[in-house]
Chains A and B, each alone.
Chain A
Amino acid sequence: MGLDPRTNCVLIIYEETAPLPVSADNPHEVTTTQQKRDAALCDCSDSTCICRFNVTQVVPMLPLECSQLSKEGACGYCPICVLLRDIATTPALRSLTNIYCAGVIVIQRGYLVPDYCNPMFKCLFKHDSQRNVLDVEAMLWTKFGAFVKAHILEKILSMFHCGVRPLPRMIGPLPRVVPLLQVKKWQKTNTYKYSDRRIFPVDATTNTRQSHVSMSYGAHQKIFSLERHCCLTRSKSMVGSTWMFLSGRQSLDCNNAMLLSGNEHLPMSQASYDAQFEPQNVGEGSAISVGDGEIAVAFPMTAMLHSASGTALTLKESSYPVSLSMMHESVMLRICCDAVGTHKKWNQRSFLCFPPRVRSKVRELNTIEIAGTSHSVVVWPEMLFRINSRDMGFKFQRPRGGKVLCYNMMLPSFLCIFLEEHNVYAKETDALENDIVSKYITQEEWKTIQNIATKEKYLLVMMLGTQDALEMLLHARSGKENKEAGEKQSVSVTRKRKHGATVPVDPIDPVVEYAKMGHSITSAHAVSFTLSCCFRPIYDNCYDVCLSLLAVVTGFSGWHNNDICSNVAKLVRFQELLDCDADTVLCDADDWHKIDSQVCAVLWCVWVLCCECKNQSGLKVKLGMKKR
């Protein structure tokens, strides 16, 4: 029996649901002083704190399957079939019968944080298999992980209307007739039209400060780790233990420290074990086994997908069991009890545990209301379930094929120049606000955006231009409303900003949608991630230029090659891009080709001169060229 050609997927969505800490005296005043921050168990003003994220949705996703899948079977040559065949023919993986996949994505105030997009797998085997499940899953991760991650990202990006679908790319200079990238109709309006998103963030404003503190990260530390573990725990723990090396600012420095350091495994305390056997942590009809650093709960059938809403009284209603007819195999839920920050990587421990181990605050809140005490902390487990029914409305959608050259590489590099910890503009310039206002933001509307970080405004202006950045920041409001908001602002009350400056802000309005969408730099990261679609053609040009230049250097080819000639013309164009002012940048694509003739003429003269000097037969050639 071979592998099932259909790899079912679910999407686990983490969202930021915790509120920002506000003082009890004035609900509009954000507590930003260091003293208050220290007093709190959790530094919740830090957007990367793990306590801010919860599983809010588990949604079915289109399965990964062969494009020709029918009653006759799979085609056998599409990328999915090739991958599955490779897996099936691997001796260590022969006992596999089914692969299930779950994609984990993190939405931070409406923005996809692509750094944390991660697939995880579960496997089913033949009954006589003696293989170690964890080893097999690790091998599967190695073989299938990058592909599935790309699949998930493509799906999510299509939700966000990024709209570029890459095609397979050849190495070396390409003929011009071959389009490098196939573009969906990219509509600028859709890029910023966040109301069209299919994923909506949970409104976290209904959470209270008290409940948030009681569910804080510190409590999690106390229960699931020894005291000395708490010392090891970093203040900036993030969702996901598999941190991406090249993607994103948030994991830049931490990667070097966290991923490369020996993350030794520490056994759980007895209290931690006991906590796992409390009623709220035990599923009905489940079998519990305690392993090395993990507790595995095998649910025969009833995997309850929490809808992240409702109270204790409506717990049953808010959780809906998956229909039994859809599931034929049992589901293994694995709960990992390691303290955050001490969680060992999958290749460092005896069992496999994939990233998401974030507590569900709603579940905990329910637990508290049931038990009347705040003694328990529930770790929301990894979950995966199989859906065998084909009548779920899932339609086939072709997986992404081919390779993308600049995927997720160039933009983080660009951003790291401007980011908070690297941004000399923001760090070393005291009068940055005035600088920005005087340089770029001279329009009246900019004054209404007082609650957006200066450096973020700076970054957006640098990337989008003044007008587009302004439109983006104010996109939710019409021009008329903006005017009204501006009038309101003059009579508005004052409130403290993060940096201590007092600026007039309307307590009810400004409704700056952008400010609600996420942490400033992360939001800007999302914008630049979207912009990376635009830059791919430029990147491809760079690639062609470098390969052509390499061919010239090594003597494999010369100017007679039209592709190389045009690529060197592009190279000259890049040189101009680096030198010229904004006003002189050509916006016409034809300009990239017009310069070919100029470059050819110059190089031709050089060539003729060289021929005269170095080759006696050059005279004939020279004469021939003059005729031409």
Chain B
Amino acid sequence: MCDEQMQQALSTLHKMHPDARTVVVSEMMCDVVYTIFFGGYRFTHCKLLSTHTICPQTSPLADISKEIKHRLGYIPELAKTEAALRHLIDLLTSNNLAFHQEPCNDLVYEMRDSVSFAAIETESILGRKFRLFKNASRVHYSTMRRLVSSQHSTYKRTLATFLAEIIAPTAEKCADWLCVESSRTLVHRDKCVALLHSKVAAFEKATRL
């Protein structure tokens, strides 16, 4: 991270009014979550199509409809005709410079799917909170144009609550992960020690002979 830039950004935030600052920060988080889960060329509705560039004129209409639904969360009321759908997908893709013509990242796809389509029984607390926050961000992003201040404050509170609530589950999740990793390491170490002992014993036996 370029410190000079970060300092400048923080300085800019510092000068801003607290209301404006919270709006900027929360909108950034919303935009990021939306981009990771719904936006960009990298994240199409179908993983197989993720390496293809969507062509508003030539792509199949079914793909376009799914993609619009994937990105917006709904099909707009007025986008019922083929022309309107094609034009809408053109707008959605031509304004998104983030992942234009980049290869698909399988890992991100897998992580997205495991969060979005987790089994309810096995879903962790953190995963559930993240999924709910993701859904809230999508709703906020989709309706942002028509929001009034009170609704925007609602999202700010949602974000603040999310950040406050995930610290403990995140630590717990990481602890689980570390336990698994350490147990794997221990098993591996025990095997190595046993192997070493057997080799030493064999060596001692050989030297005695």
Chain A contacts for B14, CB-based, 8 A: 582, 585, 587
Question: Is B99 a contact of A403 with CB atoms below 8 Å?
Answer: yes
Interface 9-residue window, one of B20-28, B44-52, B195-203:
B20-28
The answer, among B26, B29, B178, for a CB contact under 8 Å with A560, is B178
**B98–A462 CB distance below 8 A:** no
B residues 59-106 touching A (CB-CB < 8 Å): 76, 78-79, 81, 83-84, 86-88, 90-100, 102, 105
With known contacts A560-B181, A587-B14, A408–B98 Cβ distance under 8 A: no
CB neighbours (8 Å) of B3 from chain A are: 589-590
Q: Determine the chain B residues whose CB is within 8 A of the CB of A139 once the complex forms.
A: 55, 57-58
B208 within 8 A of A: no
Chain B residues, CB < 8 A from A246:
91, 95-96
Select from chain A the residue with minimum beta-carbon distance to B21. Answer: A577
Which chain B positions have C-beta within 8 A of A252?
145
Residues of B within 8 A of A181 (CB): 2, 5
Given A414-B23, A463-B20, A602-B171, 6 more contacts at CB 8 Å?
Answer: A180-B5, A259-B84, A539-B32, A546-B36, A552-B173, A558-B177
Q: List 28 A-B contacts (CB under 8 A).
A: A139-B57, A145-B94, A146-B97, A171-B42, A171-B108, A180-B2, A245-B95, A259-B88, A260-B87, A261-B84, A403-B98, A406-B28, A414-B27, A417-B147, A535-B28, A536-B5, A537-B9, A538-B13, A540-B1, A549-B130, A549-B170, A552-B177, A577-B13, A577-B21, A587-B7, A589-B7, A610-B172, A611-B178
Cβ of B19 < 8 Å from any Cβ of A?
yes
Interface residues of A in 503-554 (CB under 8 A from B): 531, 534-543, 545-547, 549-554
- Using A262-B83, A556-B111 as known contacts, say yes or no to A535 and B24 having CB atoms under 8 A apart: yes
Which residues 158-183 of B sit at the A interface, judged by CB distance below 8 A? 159-160, 163-164, 166-168, 170-179, 181-183
A487 close to chain B: CB less than 8 A: no
Smallest CB separation, B146 vs chain A (Å): 8
B188 to chain A, nearest CB (A): 12
Instruction: Tell me the smallest distance from the CB of A524 to a CB of chain B, in Å.
Output: 12
Give the docked Cα–Cα distance between A246 and B13 (Å): 23
> Size of chain B's interface in residues, with CB distance under 8 A?
102
Which of A142, A171, A259, A422 contacts B57, CB < 8 Å?
A142
Task: Determine whether the beta carbon of B149 is less than 8 Å from that of A610.
Answer: no
Q: Which residues of B contact A (CB under 8 A)?
A: 1-33, 35-36, 42, 53, 55-58, 76, 78-79, 81, 83-84, 86-88, 90-100, 102, 105, 107-108, 110-112, 114-115, 124, 126-127, 130, 144-145, 147-149, 152, 156, 159-160, 163-164, 166-168, 170-179, 181-183, 186
Q: Beyond A546-B33, A553-B124, A621-B182, is A607–B175 a contact (Cβ under 8 Å)?
A: yes
Q: Which residues of B contact A138 (CB under 8 A)?
A: 57
Closest A residue to B81 by beta carbon equals A262
Decide: A554 and B28 in contact? CB cutoff 8 A.
no
Q: How far is the CB of A237 from chain B (nearest CB, A)?
A: 18
* A559 is an interface residue with CB less than 8 A from chain B: yes
Closest 8 CB pairs of A and B: A610-B175, A465-B15, A260-B78, A558-B177, A245-B91, A462-B20, A606-B171, A589-B6
- A residues with a Cβ closer than 8 A to B are 138-139, 142-143, 145-147, 149-150, 171, 174, 176, 179-183, 186, 243-247, 252-253, 255-257, 259-262, 345, 347-348, 403-410, 413-414, 416-418, 422, 424-425, 440, 461-465, 468, 531, 534-543, 545-547, 549-560, 568, 571-572, 574-575, 577-579, 581-582, 585-590, 592, 602-603, 606-607, 609-611, 614-615, 617-618, 620-621
Contact indicator A556/B107 (Cβ below 8 Å): yes
Please, how many angstroms separate the alpha-carbon atoms of A614 and B180 in the complex? 10
Residues A575 and B173 in contact, CB atoms below 8 Å apart? no
Closest Cβ neighbor of A147 among chain B residues:
B100
* Residues of chain A within 8 A of B95, CB atoms compared: 244-247, 408
Q: With A183-B4, A551-B111 as given contacts, are A345 and B176 in contact (CB-CB < 8 Å)?
A: no
* Distance from B165 Cβ to chain A, minimum over Cβ atoms (Å): 11
Among A574, A586, A609, the most chain B Cβ lie within 10 Å of the Cβ of A574
Indicate if the CB atoms of A461 and B35 lie closer than 8 Å.
no
Q: Is the CB–CB distance between B97 and A574 below 8 Å?
A: no
- Contact of A146 with B100 in the complex, beta carbons under 8 Å: yes
Q: Which residues of B are found within 8 Å of A468, using beta-carbon distances?
A: 15
Question: Which residue, B27, B149, B152, has most C-beta atoms of chain A within 10 A?
Answer: B27
